[in-house]
Amino acid sequence: MPARVLDGNQIRDQILAELGAEVNSLAAAGIRPGLAAVLVGNNAASEVYVRNKIKACQTLGLHSEKITPPETITTSEMLDLVGGLNRRDEIDGILVQLPLPPQVDSKRVLLAVDPAKDVDGFHPYNVGCLVAGRPSLVACTPAGILEILKRSAIPIAGRRAVVLGRSDIVGKPVAMLLLHEHATVTICHSKTQNLAAVAREADILIAALGRPAMVTSGFIRPGATVIDVGINRLDESAAVERIFAARPEKIEQFRQKGSLLVGDVHPDHAAECAGAYTPVPGGVGPLTIAMLMSNTVRAARLRRGPASA
């Protein structure tokens, strides 16, 4: 039986439709959630990400602002900028697009964001609430992974989940979310011994390593659900030809475009071994912006209290 493809675009559209109804109900109460996106300098990838986030705000009817300080901005100036956004009542969410220039202390800047407006879910207060199981703003990609599992009717409670990667942005928070859903969770990293053998124990395998097509059939228990968080851009023909040796159409696509996206999971091996898996692109990626919108609406409700309920 072929593996089931978990369509992130379809799930994103479901979430945005639900948020649209919620935004309309808030509008009826005179509330319009607002997001401020801070984009420093001229990083091409960051500009695309922020443009897509602002576009999603406009589609939903949220207030949005893009703030573009110069590449030369100092840590002190960034802290003043964030402080000003913290004080503005019409701004419910503050997004500081990373990476910041090397002269800026990114940790100090992120720590300065009001936790009630921390729609990225990175602030230690919100991380602590996640650990304690208290209502908070959760990092967007982990929250999106949980939505994929739940909306695809993938059982979590009582299942063995293995997370490959221990980053603060994905690995640790998704492990905590799965734990709260009563999974038995193992977090793997660069020092894990017999990595493939540990991964093969998983009913739910989350790959967030940042290494293209590293997870092969030897990592996947037959029938497992595989969630591929990786987004790796290949720009060398040797790597493309190695990974996509059985898919000449992908090699041709690379020759035409000059680059190709691949996840942390070998796509052919996931299709052959898994019971269900997320593709790259079109899997976890679309959920990240959807959950950012969800966090912005949630922040508006939490900040404004019973009046917005």
Delimit the domains of the chain by residue range: 30-119, 140-286
Query: Which structure tokens are listed for 178?
Result: 């799965």
DSSP-based helix, strand, coil % in the chain, nearest 5: 50, 15, 40
Strands 232-234 and 260-262: antiparallel
Of 163, 155, 207, 211, whose CA–CA distance to 187 is shortest?
Answer: 163
Predicted pLDDT at 42: 84
140-286: same fold as 30-119?
Answer: yes
Give the CATH number of domain 30-119.
Answer: 3.40.50.10860
- Cα separation, 29 vs 259, whole angstroms: 48
Q: Coil, helix or strand for 73?
A: coil
The DSSP symbol for 2 reads P
Tens of pLDDT, residue by residue over 6-41, are 999 999 999 999 999 999 999 999 999 999 999 998
Q: Which fold has domain 140-286?
A: Rossmann fold (3.40.50)
Predicted pLDDT at 175: 98
Tens of pLDDT, residue by residue over 135-173, are 899 999 999 999 999 999 999 999 999 999 999 999 999
Distance from the first to the final alpha carbon of the chain: 45
The model carries a pTM of 0.94
Question: Known catalytic residues?
Answer: 53, 97, 120
**Residue found by looking up tokens 């990175």 in the block:** 122
